[in-house]
Structure 1
Amino acid sequence: MPASTANWHWKNKNVTPWAKTWFERELTSVTIQGDGSEEKVSITSVIEVDGDVELGQRKSKLITIYDCRIDLDWSGTASDGTEVNGKVSIPEVSHENTLDGHSDYIYDWSLKTQSSPAVDALYKLARARLPAALEAKFAQFPVALIDTHGKDLTVSTEASRTGTPAPSTVPAATSTSTAAAPVPAPKSVPEKKVALNTSRVKAEARFMAAADDLFSLLTDEKRIPMWTRAPAQSSAQAGSDFSLFGGGVKGKYISLTPPKEIVQSWALQSPTWPSGHSATLTTTLDQSSDSTKITFALDGVPSGLEDEITRNLEGY
């Protein structure tokens, strides 16, 4: 199938063995220095990396999916020359705390060397300065993951880290790309929009949750990535823009009636979606005594895309 279609389907690749090797190589290069030239602390070995690491592609976006516990040995030299050894465990190194910032890293420290004033000072130094050095490495991990394995999932001449859909392969005469030369081409866009046949698609779901909580989950910029697993922009005010799935869906809020209704313009950033065209998504929340029914009604779906859009609404 063409790249524009192939990249739109969900695919994933398990890269756990590669990830463990990466952590073993990169984390053992971490070293910090004390204020005095005598004090130095390094990560000496990666004891264990427990968890799964995958790279997924969804709607032409590359998404890192990982949650690992990492156990490390560290060692250093105290100001009096004593060799000091210890262990540190990080229970969660994940997409959520590395990229989304939903939680802070937690460090469980232990000291193997017998305590003394110089040893305790070095232990304090390790606890104060190693986290920042480790987190700098953790921030590099998703970038390295996509750089190394993204080409295996993306069917395109250019694998995109930011998830920009592959360029359209339609003939230049009908292209609406903004990169095209400013010649008569833009004049064809209004004509195409006027002749566009559209329809309405609808999806329903019932959740064991309160309507106000679901309303927040759908509109709060900090909570949206919990279910999209991708960056989002949303200020939840009438007239403001929103962006979901790292830019895969964009639009503008038309009206919000918490916690009962959300009306927004809605456009898919895909080669299959006509450039410049927006549909209208009306989300209604009907709370009963023990659950809330959500109805998604999308008006203005271009003919031929009904099945694809319905699957997306039901799936996400």
Structure 2
Amino acid sequence: MVLHNPNNWHWVDKNCVEWSKSYFSDKLVGVSVKSDNASVNISSLDSLTGDVDVNQRKGKVISLFDVKLVLGFKGEVEGGEESEVSGSITIPEVAYDTEQDEYVFHISLTAETKEKQPVKELIRAQLIPVLRQKLARFGPDLIETHGKDIQHPVNENRSVFTSSAQSNQGISVGGATVNGLGSTESKSSSSAAYNTTTLRLDPVFQTSANELYKTFLEPARVAAWTRSPPVKFDNKEGGEFSLFGGNVSGKFVKLVEDKSIEMQWRLRDWKPQHFANLNILFDQGNSETKALVNWTGVPIGQEDVTRQNFEEYYVKSIKLTFGFGAVF
């Protein structure tokens, strides 16, 4: 069932935790390997905790996930006094930005003894490489399975802007060129005024003000939590920035180290030349930092879009990328 979302323009989010449990049970349980003196197989998915979401906005589908898996296994050692072996494999992080060779596996044997060690060695040598390959398929399979549930096909869109974003091809529309990311480069300089309002958020991060300030401003860190190098990022007062393929852009107005970031800030589909003023104050406590996020000049009707984008692409992504707190 496709959710109601004309032209795939609005933010749509789908929680896929339950599907993920079924997915990993299907793909991992039953996987087995064998050597000359031992054998082992994944017998159960004991737990899956964390977040799995597929999101759609302006014709683009992305996934954000970060889960912890605990797998049960059973094995056998041939010719040993304790032939039957059981235990668990904990994978503390399966995340959207984890590379195949970065997965970590903690192996625990029930009542571990020297006689059971061949099973542990077999897991390390043969089972873990198989698990790495299967875990690496999760992200692509997640998008393939659930992307169609939250996005209409390109040929059903009546919006050339959204269709362009989906097909990643440039389209010329009435004197404006729309690139593959859905941005518009218009020959017109028209920027009719909006009726505007204010907006405030106060997310909490489990880190220091210094670390959080650097996370918003250091190019390498920005590239990590935006999942791609910025289109433009001049991190000084008066410097311009363009993130998420140009979906967010602006200019830094005032930077006070570890204290605040003030900027002109806009979403791509706002009227040309219209910027809101965005001020982020870093309020450090004993073990956490609250980011007091304040906008003025947000177009009326864009409050929810602005809030949702910032919470998802800034707050949640930063927490998942750097471990700065739980996401909900």
Q: TM-score, normalised by structure 1?
A: 0.63
Q: CA deviation at 1:311?
A: 4.1
% of aligned pairs identical?
A: 15
CA contact (8 A) 1:248 1:268 kept: yes
**Could you tell me which of 127, 130, 143 is aligned with 1:146?**
143
Residue in 1 that maps onto 2:174: 173
Q: 1:41 to 1:98 in 2, by over 3 A?
A: farther
Q: 1:199 to 1:261 in 2, by over 3 A?
A: farther
Matches within 5 A, 1:215-254: 215-219=213-217, 231=227, 233=229, 237-238=235-236, 239=239, 241=241, 243-244=243-244, 248-250=247-249
Taking the aligned partners of 2:79 and 2:302, their CA distance within structure 1 comes to 70
Partner-residue secondary structure (3-state), 2:132: helix
Taking the aligned partners of 1:207 and 1:22, their CA distance within structure 2 comes to 32
Taking the aligned partners of 1:139 and 1:93, their CA distance within structure 2 comes to 12
CA contact (8 A) 1:97 1:104 kept: no
Paired residues, what number? 287
Look at both structures and tell me which one has the larger radius of gyration over its CA atoms. Answer: 1
Taking the aligned partners of 2:275 and 2:47, their CA distance within structure 1 comes to 46
Q: CA deviation at 1:27?
A: 1.9
Deviations 1:90-136 (A, max 9, x none): 163543674799x96341421579744xx534522423553343233
Q: CA deviation at 1:148?
A: 1.0
Q: 1:97 to 1:287 in 2, by over 3 A?
A: closer
Matches within 5 A, 1:201-216: 202-206=198-202, 211-216=209-214
Deviations 1:157-214 (A, max 9, x none): 289xxxx9543799932543137xxxxx97xx232x2444357654334567764354
Matches within 5 A, 1:190-209: 190-191=187-188, 193-197=189-193, 202-206=198-202
Q: CA deviation at 1:151?
A: 0.6
Q: In the alignment, residue 108 of structure 2 is paired with which amino acid?
A: W
Taking the aligned partners of 2:37 and 2:246, their CA distance within structure 1 comes to 47
Q: In the alignment, residue 131 of structure 1 is paired with which amino acid?
A: I
Residue in 1 that maps onto 2:24: 23
Partner-residue secondary structure (3-state), 1:176: strand
Residue in 2 that maps onto 1:260: 259
Taking the aligned partners of 2:204 and 2:32, their CA distance within structure 1 comes to 49
Q: Is 1:88 aligned to residue 85 of structure 2?
A: no
For the aligned residue pairs, the C-alpha RMSD in angstroms reads: 5.0
CA contact (8 A) 1:71 1:90 kept: yes
Q: In the alignment, residue 11 of structure 2 is paired with which amino acid?
A: H
Matches within 5 A, 1:44-63: 44-51=42-49, 54-57=52-55, 59-60=57-58, 61-63=61-63
